[in-house]
Copies of this chain bind each other. A is one copy, B any other.
Amino acid sequence: MEQEIKEIINKCDLAIKQEDFDTLMKYYTNDAILVVKPGMIARGKEEIKKAFIAISKYFNNSLVPTQGEMIILEAGDTALVISQTLLDTDKNESEFSMDRRATYVFKKNKKGDWLCAIDNSYGTELIKSRN
């Protein structure tokens, strides 16, 4: 399970780098959500794809995500991934952190494939208290 989910995340990172958003969408559930930025949610594959197109443009079409340390907490058909997500880009970014502690929720479907249901690269930074 752990290796399978890591491979999917690697494939997603590659698809984002290559701006191949149709491939990327294969790894999301139909009712998946993406936290575009704090307070802004994309819901469903169509909105998520549009959000990734906008995100790529925002980063001058040079966005390369990679993962550092990762912990996968699995409970049956559900897994919480806690990952150091590193964003590399040509853009001189200051508004958002490029070294994040992300939280991703994956679900196993009936065919046995793990798909991303909740994509929140901001992790617990969404709440402002402390740190």
Contacts and interface: CB of A to CB of B under 8 A. Distances in A.
A85 B43 CA distance: 27
A66 interface: no
Grouping DSSP codes into helix (H, G, I), strand (E, B) and loop, the A interface class, with mixed when no group exceeds half, is strand
A73 B117 CA distance: 10
B123 A105 contact: no
A62 interface: no
B105 A69 contact: no
A129 B80 contact: no
B78 A101 contact: no
Contacts of A124: 82, 101-103, 123-124
Given A73-B41, A103-B103, A78 B118 contact: yes
